Every structure is written in structure tokens, then in C-alpha cells.
Amino acid sequence: MTRPLGMLAELTYECPLHCPYCSNPVNLGDYRDELTTAQWRRVLAEARDLGVLQLHLSGGEPLQRRDVVDIARTASELGLYTNLITSALGLSARRAEQLRDAGLDHVQISIQAHEAAMSDRIAGLPSFERKVAAARLVKKLGWPLTVNVVLHRLNLDRIADVLALAEQLDADRLELANTQYYGWALRNRAALLPSRQQVERAEAVVRAARRRLAGRMEIIYVLPDYYDDYPKPCMAGWGRRQLTVTPSGDVLPCPAAQVLPLPRASVREHSLAWIWAESPLFQRFRGTDWMPEPCRTCFRRDIDFGGCRCQAFLLTGDAARTDPVCVLSPDHEIVAEAVRAANADTRPVSDVLTPRPHPRDAR
């Protein structure tokens, strides 16, 4: 593809939750200067002209932005399909009705576990009951509902209960996404990485649920990278189908790419079209010419594109290395050692997690 299909608009990194696997950057204090409503309107118009069809409004918590309804309305008027990705805290009946009238197409609510005690502990504050109430409100107002649950060692054994909750909420779609270990999740990997037995049991439960719920609920199950032989393609390939705009206006090929030591690209300085087509950032790992061995001559190079650039950098210090998740990577032992530690009989049982702080606390 020569044009992006989807854009993730991270409206703010403000968020009331403190999830220990949060995908937001670790250096939250660097994102104080958020784009204005007018700047977001310009970016959305440029995205439409670039060919973007799907807009995902995210954060942080996008409902923390007072202008989220105006932004959603602008996107709808431009003909974009809009999806609100939210913790649902702040999704009051009044705000929900305003968003519906503004043309919002879809709502995705994150829930941390199947019941209040565990969900609230992972989220860092009481929130489960409000999330459930918001999910019911979404269905009442006629929106399609996606429930998203990030999976890890603390909740993976209760995946059947998570599925039951999604059924009770009449979710149209359930995303079961095993934690990806960068950012806050990498800091908490020792506590979050599940055992191989947990992963295998969960897969069996999901397969059975897919058969039983076929035609009623779509179930997306994302395997944990560390237990796969080959890595996933980064956002379907670097700079191929997706782009992310951060609260401060930086444009990224994937939500985690701010960690990479690469030239910045900002909508404050350049058009979205120039950034997508010409910026050094988007050109750096696009296609396959940049690849070292073993990726350059690998039969999978046009399938996984060398894997995740952020994971390669975080684990090896070199963003151009083969993703260490790959069994063919010269650095695969880094991941293999983490997996051995997660499956060791002597592994200490620890629930000690480093929570994502509030951005104000990170300054």
C-alpha cells in the first residue's frame, strides 16, 4: 500500500489509570504541549486527503480532552470511520450522547480482568463497575462494542471468565491481547510474563470459544511474542498501513516508536503527506532494503519485515537488528532466557509492579 489505512490519534497521555503494561511512553513528562483543537482539525483533514479511512481516538484517556466531541465531529464530517479507545472513565450518559450525535461510529472499552478486585488492582484505582456500566450504556445507545483485555500472568488463567464477561456485556468483538514487552510492560516483565502452560491452556479455551460463539462475537487473540517462533510484522510493516500522531504532534510509524533514536517528524513542522512519503523517520525501516542478515535473505522477510523495531532496540540496543523473538535471530537467547525464567520452578511469586504514573507526577 502507498497510503495509510488507519491513524491512531493519541489526544492526550493524561489518564486516571495506572496500568503496569501501559503502552504510553515512559517519559510522560515530555508530552505536556498538546495539540490544540484547531491543530487536530488540520491533521484530520490532512489524514483524509492522504487516504486514511479509519481514525482511532486514543490516549492516555481521550475523554480527558474537553474537545473530544468536537474532534469526533470533525472526523465524522470528513468521512472518517471513528473508533473511541477508552477506559470508559468519564463516559457519562451525557458525554456518550454527545459523541453519538457527533457521529462517533464505534467504542472500544478496556477492562483489566473479569471481576472488580483484580481489575481494580491492575488498573490502580476502583474502576471495574464503572467500566461495566459504560459498556452497557454503549450497547443501549446502539454502538458496536469492542471489549479489550490485556493478558498477562495475573489474569491469563481466568480467560474463561473474561470470555463470560464479554458475553454478558453483549460485546460484538473481544480483543484478547497478550502483553507486548516494551515501555512500562518491559519494566514489569518479570511479574507479567506468563508460563508456557498458561499460554497453552488459554489458547485451548479461546479456540473452543471461537467455535461456540461463531457468528455472535468476533474474538481476536494475540499470542505473546515471546512464545512464538517468529515475530509479528510491526504494524503490518513499518510505514505501510498505519501511523500514529502523539499528543504533542509527533508522527510515528507505530505507537511505541518514540523510544527509537531516530529523527523526529512533527505535524507542527511538516504536512502529514510529507511525513508519510518523504521523512527520514518513515523511510528508515520501510520495505526490506534496510535489513541485515539473517533477515535480508530470509524466506519470511516479506511476511514479518524483521519484526518489531522497538523490541529489537530495547533488547539489543540496535533498532536495525533482527527482532530477538525470532528463532533465527542471533540475539534470540535474550528472549529464551526470559522465557526460561518465567517457567522456572524456582521463580519467585511476586505481584510487585511498577505502575504507570500520572503524567503530572512524572514531571
Residue 59 contacts residue 44 (beta carbons within 8 Å)? no
Q: Cell numbers of 164, please?
A: 463470560
Q: Is the dihedral of CA 217, 170, 150, 25 positive or negative?
A: positive
173: DSSP letter = E
Residue 222 contacts residue 202 (beta carbons within 8 Å)? no
**The residue type at 159:** I
C-alpha to C-alpha distance for 295 and 287, rounded to whole angstroms: 12
324: DSSP letter = T
Residues 52, 53, 55, 56, Cα dihedral to 10°: -110
**The residue type at 90:** G
Q: Does residue 22 have a known ligand-binding role? A: yes
Binding positions:
15, 19, 22
Binding positions for [4Fe-4S] cluster:
15, 19, 22
